[in-house]
């Protein structure tokens, strides 16, 4: 889906003042994003953009991005106003056109040298990030470097060789080998015999060589990555969040009367493909038996009939596709669903629906990483019958419908607003940096 309307900074209200820890402004950070974080039109971009915003609130920050540096800087400067500790945004040079054989050979050699490993695959964008990161470190003399995603492994050799005194932190939105194994299982492929799965697991088990601290999206991911690294890596949960000041609560007291469902997400993402197909085939008929006039709205980019056989032809399904703003979709529908059976990290769509005030029914995997309690701020149901029962329960009870959505909004405000998440990350960075300095002394 397209989050651009929600993130059009010219339309944002002037933020209320919050206090920033004075000691954090003394630290200088470099944060690299070897993927697009603006416009904010995917879950990865959403996490990247808001994580950068919150780090810039607390630290003097230099961001390396692949596109839209001026737009990113303007959006963050406008919202943070006098809370901004310091922000410079620089663009990572992008290669244009297909790579020649000689360029590919050079890329391969550079990857081996920078990563310190023969097994890491080449990635021209990440290589460009590594080269630029080296130059910016020399110019800016940062205290901390925050890398993002597993691909940042390519920067490892350069950082350890040229800048060993800098604290290295890695942000991992997913546990990639788990996500990949789930996708293989959906195709009845044995992950243990798959070379790519072996590579991902091997690299994720060597992350203690890449960084001194790791941010994971969920407690489960933190524990798994720590154990995979022989407990030689400190992993902290820095969950995904939601901008509550933008995702405003729907105060419509007649919202229950819409008697409609909303599935929202990128429709080429394998967990969403599997989840929506499962819902339409196995769960939706059980709901229609009790509520024959109910409708399902499917919102998100990259819908393809080949991935969703029969979905667009279903008489009770409206495939909307990509939209400029998701807010109107939440306003005109009643219940949000997240019927995911695979995935890793934290589902942003859950936090989004809670913030907007749409009562949500999800599987355990769908709400993984969110410390919500079943029956208090969400309904968690893991098979077709119980999932349908949960939806039918909300459709039949306006009292429970409204109670669940109000409790969900309070829950995300207290625990998952990006300002709360940003403070968790900032405090941990300060703690890690202080501990590293004590060891050095």
**pLDDT of 171:** 96
**pLDDT of 6:** 44
**pLDDT of 98:** 58
State which fold the 255-415 domain adopts. Answer: Rossmann fold (3.40.50)
**Count, residues in the chain:** 441
Q: 27 vs 55, 64, 222, 419, 433, CA distance in Å?
A: 11, 17, 25, 19, 9
**pLDDT of 22:** 47
**pLDDT of 438:** 75
Structure tokens at 99: 């790579």
* pTM strictly above 0.75: yes
**pLDDT of 198:** 92
**pLDDT of 119:** 55
**pLDDT of 261:** 98
**pLDDT of 65:** 93
pLDDT averaged over 10-residue windows placed end to end, the chain, 441 residues: 41 39 73 89 87 95 93 90 88 66 58 51 68 92 93 82 94 90 86 90 92 93 95 95 93 93 93 95 98 97 94 96 93 96 80 96 92 95 98 96 97 96 96 84 53
**pLDDT of 286:** 98
**pLDDT of 149:** 87
- The residues spanned by each domain of the chain are 24-173+205-241+418-440, 255-415
- Whether 24-173+205-241+418-440 and 255-415 share one fold: the answer is yes
Strands 28-32 and 144-148 come out as parallel
State which fold the 24-173+205-241+418-440 domain adopts. Answer: Rossmann fold (3.40.50)
**pLDDT of 19:** 42
């Amino acid at each position: 889906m397209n989050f651009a309307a929600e993130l059009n900074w010219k339309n944002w209200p002037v933020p209320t003042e919050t206090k920033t820890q004075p000691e954090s402004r003394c630290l200088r950070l470099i944060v690299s994003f070897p993927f697009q974080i603006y416009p904010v039109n995917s879950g990865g971009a959403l996490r990247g953009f808001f994580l950068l915003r919150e780090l810039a609130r607390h630290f003097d920050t230099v961001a390396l991005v692949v596109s839209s540096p001026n737009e990113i800087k303007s959006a963050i400067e406008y919202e943070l106003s006098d809370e901004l500790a310091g922000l410079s945004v620089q663009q990572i040079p992008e290669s244009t056109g297909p790579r020649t054989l000689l360029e590919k050979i050079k890329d391969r050699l550079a990857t081996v040298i920078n990563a310190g490993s023969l097994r890491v695959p080449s990635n021209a964008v990440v290589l460009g990030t590594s080269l630029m990161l080296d130059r910016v470190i020399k110019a800016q003399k940062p205290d901390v470097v925050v890398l993002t995603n597993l691909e940042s492994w390519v920067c490892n050799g350069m950082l350890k060789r040229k800048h060993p005194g800098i604290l290295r932190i890695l942000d991992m939105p997913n546990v990639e080998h788990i996500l990949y194994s789930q996708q293989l299982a959906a195709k009845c492929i044995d992950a243990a015999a798959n070379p790519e799965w072996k590579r991902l697991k091997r690299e994720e088990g060597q992350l203690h060589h890449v960084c001194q601290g790791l941010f994971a999206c969920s407690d489960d991911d933190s524990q798994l990555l720590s154990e995979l690294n022989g407990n030689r890596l400190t992993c902290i949960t820095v969950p995904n969040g939601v901008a509550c000041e933008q995702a405003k609560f729907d105060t419509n007291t007649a919202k229950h009367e819409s008697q409609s469902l909303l599935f929202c997400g990128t429709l080429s993402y394998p967990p969403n493909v599997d989840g929506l197909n499962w819902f339409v085939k196995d769960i939706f008929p059980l709901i229609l038996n009790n509520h024959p006039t109910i409708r399902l709205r499917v919102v998100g980019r990259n819908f393809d009939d080949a991935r969703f056989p029969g979905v667009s032809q279903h008489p009770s399904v409206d495939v909307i596709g990509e939209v400029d703003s998701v807010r109107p979709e939440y306003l005109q529908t009643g219940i949000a669903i997240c019927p995911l059976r695979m995935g890793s990290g934290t589902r942003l769509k859950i936090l989004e629906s809670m913030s907007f005030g749409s009562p949500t029914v999800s599987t355990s995997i769908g709400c993984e990483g969110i410390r919500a309690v079943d029956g208090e701020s969400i309904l968690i149901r893991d098979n077709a019958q119980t999932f349908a029962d949960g939806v039918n329960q909300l459709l039949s009870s306006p009292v429970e419908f409204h109670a669940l959505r109000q409790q969900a909004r309070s829950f995300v405000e207290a625990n998952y607003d990006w300002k709360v998440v940003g403070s968790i990350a900032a405090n941990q960075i300060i703690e890690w940096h202080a501990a590293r300095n004590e060891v050095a002394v």
